[in-house]
Amino acid sequence: MIINNLLFRSLLSPFNFIPWLLYFPVAVVRIIEEGMGLNSFVWFFQLLFFSLILNFLIFLINKNTKVLITSLALMAIGIGIEIYSEFSFYKNFAKAIYWAEQYPLSVLIAIFLLAISYKAVYQFLKARFYLDMGLAKKPEKMLRLGFSFLGGYGRLGVFLKNDLRLLLRNTRPKQILLFSVMFLFYGLVFFTTEIYKENSLLVIFASLFITAGFSMTYGQQVPAWDSEYFGFLMTQNLTYREYLESKWRLMAVSVFLSLILSSFYLLFGWKIYLIIMTTAIYNIGVGSFVNLYSGAFNRVPIKLNVKANTFSNTKAFSLTQLLFTIPKLGLPIFIFFIADFIWGGKAGLFSLAFFGGLGIVFKHYILNHLAKIYTLGKHKTIAAFTKN
């Protein structure tokens, strides 16, 4: 009963809502533009169930070294086959999804595979479900990171050092870093398929995620990342303005690094990479500020050394953050659509770059305004973090 409850609660993990944010909008667009109602929903639920299967698989990988080594070995073999042979896992997976779209009952296969993965995790937990497992304490190793190069930034550098140490020392932030790397390859879903590649709105949608993986997943949880010591932080001789600027700079650098790492998309042509560059400018100048604004209403604490897939921190899911995904994803697409509809040509891309540039130029004014908003809710935030 306890194990079943644990596994069912895992479905409430914020990461399991991501398919609804990434794939469901695509299904809706296909229904509107192509009229493929049933096929689109079958496509969506196939990917949703596949994501849930991966959720259970990652749980096993995190808990069992043998499963981790086996998975890495299989990945290495798979990459080797993909590169050095004519067989393509990606193309065959795409064919399988396409076949599944044509036969709605194929969803039963996905449900069956999900049930098998659920059973595997259940048996794994059941075999280790005894008290002695949690009594022995493992020695902890402290990662010593100085970041002396940030010493010249004064009090702003103090915040940046704290953020970098938090990211590299704690379990939950490390998951965000891993997740951000996965976002770099999100464009492959769209840029390798002609029907998606020809749809400018879907290309913009994919490009936004390529460089905003970190800024969206990390930025929307500000200031919850510091919830364990937020009260102490607010007693120091530090201002909210400096606190928010350090977060903004961290997100801006992450977007820039993502842009460099995503340079392999040049294989799909300069046009695709130009779109990624444009959305990167938007993500720095507008998206990062929207993330910080949504964080002002986030008063759900985060346990830094509790993995998201251990499911003990299901309160981390916030309806407020879910609602903020609408302007985060809808605003850039709306700006592009209006400009492209009225002027055509490159007007949509120019508009995104223009608004992103404005945000960068007026960042001081925007950060000052955000600091006032954060200050107004400061005591509520401290009370919520202290209570939890």
pLDDT digits (tens, 9 = 90+) for 193-220: 777 777 888 888 888 889 888 888 888 7
Alpha helices in the chain, H assignment, sequence order: 2-10, 18-22, 24-34, 37-63, 65-84, 89-102, 107-127, 154-169, 171-183, 188-191, 194-197, 200-219, 230-234, 240-261, 270-282, 288-295, 319-342, 347-361, 363-376, 378-387
pLDDT digits (tens, 9 = 90+) for 232-249: 777 776 778 888 888 899
Q: How far is CA 372 from the centre of its chain?
A: 27
Q: How far is CA 388 from the centre of its chain?
A: 24
pTM beyond 0.75: no
CB 281 within 8 A of CB 352: yes
**Range from 74-88, 122-136, 255-269 carrying the lowest mean pLDDT:** 122-136
Q: Does residue 10 register a pLDDT over 70?
A: no
pLDDT digits (tens, 9 = 90+) for 357-380: 999 999 999 999 999 988 888 888
pLDDT band at 309 (very low <50, low <70, confident <90, very high): very low
Highest mean pLDDT among 293-297, 352-356, 380-384: 352-356
Residue 189 or residue 264, greater confidence: 264
pLDDT band at 147 (very low <50, low <70, confident <90, very high): low
CA 87 to CA 280: how far, in whole Å? Answer: 34
Residues 6+ apart with CB under 8 A from 317: 12, 13, 14, 17, 300
At 182, the amino acid letter reads M
Q: 45-66: string of b/e by CB count within 10 Å (b at 16+)?
A: bbbbbbbbbebbebbbbebeee
Alpha helices in 239-318, H assignment, sequence order: 240-261, 270-282, 288-295
Q: Does residue 130 register a pLDDT over 70?
A: no
Q: What is the pLDDT of residue 73?
A: 76
CA 137 to CA 149: how far, in whole Å? Answer: 35
CB 336 within 8 A of CB 353: no
pLDDT digits (tens, 9 = 90+) for 43-82: 778 888 888 888 777 777 777 767 777 777 777 787 777 6
Identify which of 186, 166, 150 has the alpha carbon closest to the alpha carbon of residue 19. Answer: 186
CB 214 within 8 A of CB 177: yes
Share of the chain above pLDDT 90, in %: 12
* Averaged pLDDT score across all residues of the chain: 78
CA 372 to CA 313: how far, in whole Å? Answer: 30
Centre a 10 Å sphere on the Cβ of residue 103 and count the other Cβ atoms it contains: 12
Which residue shows structure tokens 């390859």? 185
